[in-house]
Amino acid sequence: MKVLAFGLGALGTVFAVSLKNAGYETYAFIKENHLSQLKQPLRITGLFGEKQAVIDGYFTQPNDLKSLDLDLIILTVKAFDTEKALLQIKEFIKPNTLLLIAQNGYGNYEKATQLIPKNQIILSRIIFGAKLISPGVAKVTVFGDDVVIGQPENTIPKETLENLAKVFTQAGIPTRVSEEVYSILWEKIIYNSALNPLGALLERTYGELAENYETRFLMDKVIEEIFEVLKAYNIKIRWDNPEDYKKHFYQKLIPPTAAHYPSMYYDLKNRKKTEIDALNGAIVNLAEQKGLKTPVNKFITLMVKQIETNF
């Protein structure tokens, strides 16, 4: 199997090192100015163990990939770079190549389906956390659950998905297949929207946010507003109402990740653009299309975007 990690941030590095270590031909597509900064060999540390790998090649131009017959492209760029990345991928993707959307937030799959055939697109929910120590070196800091993969519209055979899940699992990234992947991704969007921006703005861990009355109140409002949006779009998740979800959120989801800072915290700290538009910002936009108001999500979005104006 020939694999391309499109983007070598923390997540892309974890996939590239793990798959190369498992014996797969592995390449990476990165920005040209990042190539000289990469530490060789690529390395991961943390919860998935200590691994390193010399991958099979790096690419910085889409044209150079046209001669490579890839089986899988793993898209790991930040959500604000998705459209540009998809236009580049469209230049070299073959009809037999699968594209895995391995990103946070709402809108990545929707953008992909406008440019790439649905029978080539796999959606995923990734709930392990990794941070980039330096270019080419990533640390897996938290593991919430298996990676979940699937095709929301059932355009890819289940056997193909099961085989890919097996490849990832054997490479050290626990993965399972679900027909409910779109709903499961939405559950993560709720989780991230409640925690990430507040953790970033206030420089607090997930556990600290849950312990504090004021931040807990704000997270409750974020969740309640998102449930109104889900209802308006008839999107079903495992919980029918925000109260049941909040019990699960505080009792089951936060405790294993209580010491974790969100990736958005590191983005703001390092003066980098965040994925707020794919989280709370997306909630605001979806709500407005249905005539709904989401004041807390809007306030949080504006706060993050105001900080970004200084970068």
Active site residues: 188
Report the C-alpha gap between 55 and 39 in whole angstroms: 12
Size (the chain), residues: 311
Whole-angstrom distance, CA of residue 250 vs CA of residue 204: 16
CA distances from 101 to 224, 267, 307, 308 (A): 27, 21, 28, 25
Residue 285: partners with Cβ closer than 8 Å, 6 or more residues away: none
Gap between the Cα atoms of 161 and 142, Å rounded:
25
Strand partners, 28: 5, 58
Integer Cα distance of 40 and 286 in angstroms: 43
Contacts of 301 (CB under 8 A, 6+ apart): 197, 276, 277, 280, 281, 284
Q: Is 145 helix (H, G, I), strand (E, B) or coil?
A: coil
Closest to 194 (Cα-Cα) out of 168, 166, 216, 163: 216
d(CA 125, CA 187): 9
Reported in sequence order, the residue ranges of 111-225 that DSSP labels E, i.e. its strands, are 121-125, 128-134, 137-143, 147-150, 175-177
Place of tokens 């974020």: 222
**225: DSSP letter:** H
CA angle 111/190/10 to nearest 5° reads: 65
